[in-house]
Amino acid sequence: MMPAVQSAPGEMPDRGDGPPRYRTLGADLDLSHFQRLRRGVLAALLAAAFLALAVVGSSHGQAVHELIEQVGFALMVVGIAGRIWCTFYIGGRKSAEIVDAGPYSMTRNPLYLFSTVAAAGVGAQTGSVILALAFAAGCALAFQPVIRREERHLARLFGAPYQAYLDRVPRFVPNVCAYRDRPEMTIRTDRVYRTLTDGLVFLAAIPLFEGIELLQAGGYLPIRLLLP
């Protein structure tokens, strides 16, 4: 990971636009805003999906339906594990340095990428491949405005070193050949636990969708659309 400028650990770089304490507070508040916005986007997507899917069903037979659900569960596990992996590198560092190792050496937004993978797993719990792909596409598109706002903020914060990172690493689709790591790092366990807790929300899709299917089978929720 490459610090943008010399600064004390956990302290914002001095960019000459006010007392350091207030610059540090302002940057932390900005990043907290982006984190809240990211969680809000995920929550809104999941809520809208549950409401819409109450009247949507899968056109596949039982065996294929269950296979798609199992693949979806695997995608959710990959997404949650990937988000935790990202937190090992970015947790507590985003406001102090440019993180460009591990998953951040392949894509600038691996947290959003793994969230998209998990969202595909949520959609797959309906037993529909179409809905799994729709969930992934919807999640990726919804994150784009957040990503761009965050990039503008970090560009103002770090300047030329961050611009070099933008030029070197793709925004979303990873370049696995560019992977690089560091021999050691400090991990913020509180951030890891928070990411794990946030990720478990994806797994809540399993009992919720099973409940919707039971209500549909019992005739309490009419199925208006069947999708493959």
pLDDT digits (tens, 9 = 90+) for 189-223: 999 999 999 888 899 889 988 898 888 888 888 88
The pLDDT confidence band at residue 37, using thresholds 50, 70 and 90, is low
Is 4 inside any structural domain?
no
For 189, the token pair is 């366990």
User: Does residue 23 have a pLDDT over 90?
Assistant: no
Is 192 inside any structural domain?
yes
How far apart are the two ends of the chain, measured CA to CA in Å?
Answer: 44
Is 3 inside any structural domain?
no
Is 5 inside any structural domain?
no
Domain holding 130, by residue range, is: 26-227
Give the span between the Cα atoms of 113 and 95, in whole angstroms.
Answer: 21
Q: What residues pair up with 98 in beta bridges, in sequence order?
A: 2
Give the pLDDT of residue 4: 42
> Number of folded domains in the chain?
1
Q: Report, in angstroms and rounded to the nearest whole number, the Rg of the chain calculated over CA atoms.
A: 20
For 175, the token pair is 């370049």
Is 6 inside any structural domain?
no
Is-above-0.85 flag for pTM? no
Is 59 inside any structural domain?
yes
For 196, the token pair is 């794990």
The secondary structure of residue 217, as a DSSP letter, is H
How far is CA 17 from its chain centroid?
32
User: Does residue 21 have a pLDDT over 50?
Assistant: no
Signed CA dihedral, 94, 98, 102, 105: sign only: positive
pLDDT digits (tens, 9 = 90+) for 70-86: 999 999 999 999 999 99
Q: Which of 36-40, 51-55, 203-207, 217-221 shows the lowest mean pLDDT across its residues? A: 36-40
Is 2 inside any structural domain?
no
Is 222 inside any structural domain?
yes
- The pLDDT of 138-145, averaged and rounded, is 89
